[in-house]
Structure 1
Amino acid sequence: MTSIDLTGRTALVTGGAQGLGEGMAQALAAAGARVMIADLQESGAETAAALGDGHGFVKLDITDDEAWEAAIAATIAQLGGLDILVNNAGVEITSLFTEIKAEDVRTMLDVNILGTTLGIKHGLRAMRPDGPAGKGGSIINIASVAATIAFPGIGVYSATKSAVDRLTRVAAMEAGKLGYGVRVNCVYPGLVPTAMGAGLANDVAAIGLFESPDAAVAAVIDQTPGGRLGQVDDMADAVVFLASDAAKFITGAGLPVDGGMGM
C-alpha cells in the first residue's frame, strides 16, 4: 500500500517474527514507519534486521504485565515514540468440544484475551496525553473471521476472537470519552495459508471433520464469495490503512478482510 505515508511514526507489532505479523511489520515499514517487532521467538531479531536500519526487536510475553512495560519503554527509547500498536500475537488449538482440554482453553484465553487486553492497556497508557509517547495514535487488534462464523473444531478460539471484538469496541469508547486521542479498531482476517492457517487445515482433517487438509481448504473457499484464501498482504494493507490518517475518523470498528466469508 505505497500510497499511504506513515513516515515519522513508530509501530510495535506483536507476533511479528513470522506469518501475518511479519507481513504487517513489512507493510508498515514500507509505508515509512519505524517498526519494533515484539515476539517470544528470537527469530524476530532477524525479521527486524531484514526490514533495514531504523527498526528493532524486543522479546515479549504478551501475557506478562511487566514484559509489556519493558517492551513499550524499549520501543519509545530506541525508536523515538509509539504511534501504532498492532496486537497480532495469538494461538489456535483445534479440538472437538467433546475432547477439549482445560489447559488448552486456558492457553487460548491467556494469549488471545489477556494478551490483547494488556496490549490495549499499555498502548493507551503510552499514547495518551500524559503518557511517555503522548501523541495519541492507533491500536489495531487482530481478531478473526472465526469471530463471525460457526466453523467446526475451533469453538474456544472463535470465542476468544469474539472477545477481541468486544475489547476493541469498549476500549475505543473509553479512549474517546477520556480524550486519549487514540483510535482502537480490529481486523477480522480470513483463512491465510501461513503456518498457522496450514496447521488449522491439517488439524480439522486429523480430528475427522474433513477428509483431508485440501478438503478443509476447499470448504473454506466454497464459503468465501471472493473465491480464494486470503493473502498476507490483504491483511497487512488493512492494518496500514487503519494506522493511517485515511482512517482518522474510524474507531471502534471491526474490518472484515475475509473475501465475504463472514457476512
Structure 2
Amino acid sequence: MQPTSPAQYAAATERRTPDVEVVRPGVWSLPLPLPRRAGMESTLCTVYVGDDGGVTVIDPGWDAGDNRARLLSLLARTGRSIADVRLIVATHLHIDHLGLAPWIHQESGARMALHPLDAETLLHPPETTPDDALFDRWGVPRDERHDFRPAIRASFPELDTGALMPLEGGDVIEHSGSRLTVLHTPGHTRGSVCLVDAGNGLIITGDHVLPIVRPGLALGGDEHADPIADYLTSLASRPTTTSRSCQRTSTASAVSGNGGATSHRTTGSAAKRSRCYSTGFPRRPCGASPSG
C-alpha cells in the first residue's frame, strides 16, 4: 500500500485538515472542516470545473465555520463563481456531505441530485430512536447497542423539495463536460451511491469506503431492513453502463468523502481506504469484498 496523496493521508492520520488538491485536470478535492463535535477533522468535497464554464459540486460539506469562503476561494482560483455551479450531487443524506447545498442552491439555482431513498428520509426525518426489536432485526449485539443509539440520531439540513432531483442507480450524469455513472451502494444509508468517472479513472465513494475509520451502517433512519447484507452486496456491485470502459482501465482512484489517500492495487473493490486508492479492476470496476 502506498498513499497516492501523501499529504491527504498524513493529514487524516494526524487529524488535521489538508490543503486543496488537483485530482485530475479540472477535478479538485476541497477539504471542508467539520465542527469539533463531529469526531473527524474534515470531509472532502469534489469539484468538477468544466471547459464550458460550468461547475459540478459533489458532497458539499457542513455549513459551518469558513466553509462557504473555502468553496468560493476555490471557485475564484479556477476563474469561476458560485453562480457557475450547475449541479450539486450528494452521495448520501448526511449533513457533512450536503450541508452547503441549500446555500449553493440559493446562490446559483443549481439543483441537488440525491437518491430517492435518502431524499425520502431527508424530507421526512425519523422521529424515534430504534428500539431493541429493530436492533434484533439488524443483528446488533446487545453489548454494543449503547454505542449505536446515539449514532442513529442524525441531523438533517432543511432543503426545499423543489431543489431536489432523483439520482438512481444506473443513471448517467453528464454535466460540465463530465460523465458520471451512478452506482447504488446502500449500507451507510439506504440511498448511498458511488459515482464512476470512467473517463478520468475515478470512483467517488462518499462514505461507502473510508481511509482510517470504518463506515457506519444504517445511519439513515430506521427504515433500513438489513443494512449489513446491503453493504456486503454493495461491495460486489458494478456499473453495467460503463463496465466495458472500466475493464479497459487497469487502475482507478477511489475518491472518498473523508480522510486521506492510500494506493492499493487489487482485482476487486477491496481496500478503497482513500480519497485516492489505486484500485485495479480489469473485471470488477467497483469491487468484490471488504478488505478488513
| TM-score with structure 2 setting the length | 0.30
Q: Which has the larger helix fraction?
A: 1
| TM-score with structure 1 setting the length | 0.32
